[in-house]
Amino acid sequence: MEEQLKRTCLHACHLALGAKMSPFAGYDMPIQYSSIVQEHESVRHQVGVFDVSHMGEIFVSGKDAERFVNHIFTNDIRPMVPGQILYGMLLYPNGGTVDDLLVYKEFAPDSYLLVVNAANIDKDHAWILSQMEGFDVVVENASEAWGQIAVQGPEAEKAVVEVLGLGEAAALTFYTFRDFQVDGARVIVSRTGYTGEDGFEIYATPAQTVKYWEALLAAGVAPCGLGCRDTLRFEAGLPLYGDELSAEISPVEAGLGMFCKLDKDEFIGKDALVAQKAEGAPRKLVGLELEDKAVPRAGYPVELEDGTQVGVVTTGYHSISLDKSIAFALVDRACGALGSKLMVRIRKKVFPCTVVKKRFYQTNYKK
């Protein structure tokens, strides 16, 4: 099976560092280098760098590009200006989620970059192609041509400017990007990330990505694996496709309705979301805080005091930053009000918990 796994352009770097490797989204990826706790703390208090070259880059261009992307995407791209980024979803007609993604409005006219989740690249590409009828657009899956790193933490700007020499990146605000030319090739730098901290995501050729990685590590930036990427995004209240969003979980159920612009004339899945808003979605994604240090894991039942199951944990950890046992859970709507008292079943025992806001940690983005 290992031979069938894809490898990012930084794979040899991970092996040289002795990273703990594991299959993820069809790739052989680093889970940790030192420890998840140490890497998590590096991002919260200093700076860390992640290999995210497994993410997908799909370009949409042509005279109908704006109309087409707005048709398949839940957010409204019409007011976007070049250099701006929006978060949103691709939906099935029934409101289920194909994927959540970022849309970049390019500086070239009639051109957009869609950054999609690694596990969904082929599915997303096929879905987008299947919706093209009646639109004059060109869709290119360029995922193999790009490497990507995420530099995250309070000292991220200093690292990007001083170590990588990308000085103009300092002027970027949250969810904006700019282009650079480095050694004759395009580099895209965006002020985005998946940790709750200030940071940048840098898209470059595979060879340039390796150079940036090596320069950051030589300057003392901590290499970080997918283990702490998950603990960081979870504390910041950010969803993971497959856990908090899926073909069976709509953005309304996941509490992400603000990224679905129902005042647009149309987009795929709009009618289903309008109905869910009007009737009330049957389920709701909530935050849970346990009264005990027991750790809730994905798939554990959420119950009422009488043992009636009313939901399931989608992600759970003992929070590194907060020293609390917390979880996301998809529960019956009637049980999802803030302050509601529920129970999480962990093997043969049940543990009391309270419904709280999903953003457990105070994020530190540069607005």
Q: pLDDT digit string (tens) for 199-211?
A: 999 999 999 999 9
Per-residue pLDDT at 3: 57
Please state the rounded mean pLDDT for residues 24-52: 97
Whether 1 shows a pLDDT value over 70: the answer reads no
Residue pair 262/84 in contact (Cβ under 8 Å)? The answer is: no
Top-level CATH class of 2-52+146-235? alpha beta
* 298/353 Cα distance (integer angstroms): 15
* Domain 282-367: assigned CATH number: 2.40.30.110
- Residue 255's DSSP bridge partners are none
Domain boundaries for CATH 3.30.1360.120 within the chain = 2-52+146-235
Q: Is the separation of the CB atoms in 338 and 357 below 8 Å?
A: yes
Q: How many CB atoms lie within 10 A of CB 185?
A: 11
Mean pLDDT (the chain) is 96
Percentage of residues in the chain with pLDDT exceeding 70? Answer: 99
User: What tens digit of pLDDT does each residue of 69-79 get?
Assistant: 999 999 999 99
End-to-end CA distance of the chain: 44
CATH 3.30.70.1400 residue spans of the chain: 56-143
Residue pLDDT, tens place only, 289-303 = 999 999 999 999 999
Average pLDDT over residues 165-191: 97
Give the model's pLDDT for residue 2: 46
Confidence of residue 366 (pLDDT cuts 50, 70, 90): confident
Q: Contact, 255 vs 358, CB < 8 A?
A: yes
Least confident among 100-109, 129-138, 208-217, 358-367: 358-367
DSSP letter for each residue of 117-135: -GGGHHHHHHHHHHT-TT-
For position 367, what pLDDT does the model report?
75
Q: Within the chain, which residue ranges are assigned CATH 2.40.30.110? A: 282-367
Portion of the chain with pLDDT greater than 90, in percent: 97
CATH class of 56-143: alpha beta
Which pLDDT belongs to residue 333?
Answer: 95
